[in-house]
Structure 1
Amino acid sequence: MIKVQIKRSRNGEIQSFSINGHANADEYGKDIVCAAVSVLSQTTLLGLHDIAKIEIDFKVQDGNLECKLPVNLSNDKRQKANLLLETMIMGIKNIYESYSEYIAIHDKEV
């Protein structure tokens, strides 16, 4: 199962997220659930780093992705981060609607 952990500030902005595990919806190389979540999350990392120019703290390993945003972002960078991150979450929730047995989402304020 893929476990998505989203940690938000009191005002609802995503501070960090992690995605761990494998869906095991099909054999390796044919698992569309894993592939979809991987593409969404890794593209978001690229967007945060390359498009929004945010120096994120991240780690990507087989079956694990972690990302933490800096605390003191400018308003412009925070707005860009919010758009990218909320779009990623919207995509993952959309996958969850069809494949809930393979994904768990925990979205909480810290």
Structure 2
Amino acid sequence: MIQVTVFRSNNQIESFELSGHADSGPYGYDLVCAGVSAVSIGAVNAVMELCETDLEIEQGGEGGYLHVEIPRSLKGEKREKAMLLFEGMLVSLKSIEAEYGQFIRLENK
């Protein structure tokens, strides 16, 4: 199962973490994993390009691990854009969870 954990402070995303594998299909044909990967990596790339910022990213191969931290130095309009893009990512991940809840779980902390 893919576990998505969102860490918030004052209702703003500080970081998020994805871990595990969906195992909803054979390797290379796992649509849940592909969807989660596309949504999350797409959001990370969008924030980095559109907000002109570097994010603190930690990735691991075998465990299906991604940890992304928004720098505290990101302020003003760029921070607002980043929050909107990451909240959009969460809307998409919630849609995947609604359809494939046995393979993905979202949690806010």
Fold conserved between structures, TM > 0.5:
yes
Which TM-score band (shorter chain)? Answer: over 0.9
Q: Which moved more, 1:13-22 or 1:55-64?
A: 55-64
Q: Which moved more, 1:24-33 or 1:68-77?
A: 68-77
Alignment-derived partner of residue 44 in structure 1: 43
Alignment-derived partner of residue 22 in structure 1: 21
Q: How many residues align?
A: 107
| TM-score, normalised relative to structure 1 | 0.93
Query: Structure 2 unaligned runs (5+)?
Result: none
The code of the aligned residue for 1:33 comes to V
Q: Distance in 2 between matches of 1:21 and 1:51?
A: 29
* SS at 1:101 equivalent: coil
Q: Distance in 1 between matches of 2:108 and 2:42?
A: 20
* SS at 1:72 equivalent: coil
* SS at 1:17 equivalent: strand
CA RMSD of aligned residues (A): 0.9
Q: Distance in 2 between matches of 1:61 and 1:39?
A: 16
Q: Distance in 2 between matches of 1:52 and 1:78?
A: 8
Task: Report the CA distance between 1:60 and its aligned residue.
Answer: 2.5
Alignment-derived partner of residue 58 in structure 1: 57
Alignment of 1:1-110 (within 5 A): 1-10=1-10, 12-62=11-61, 63-108=64-109
Task: Report the CA distance between 1:51 and its aligned residue.
Answer: 1.7
| TM-score, normalised relative to structure 2 | 0.94
Query: Structure 1 unaligned runs (5+)?
Result: none
Deviations 1:24-70 (A, max 9, x none): 00000110000000001101110111121122100223211110011
Q: Which moved more, 1:27-36 or 1:50-59?
A: 50-59
The code of the aligned residue for 2:14 comes to Q
Structure 1 segments of 4+ aligned residues over 3 angstroms from their partners: none
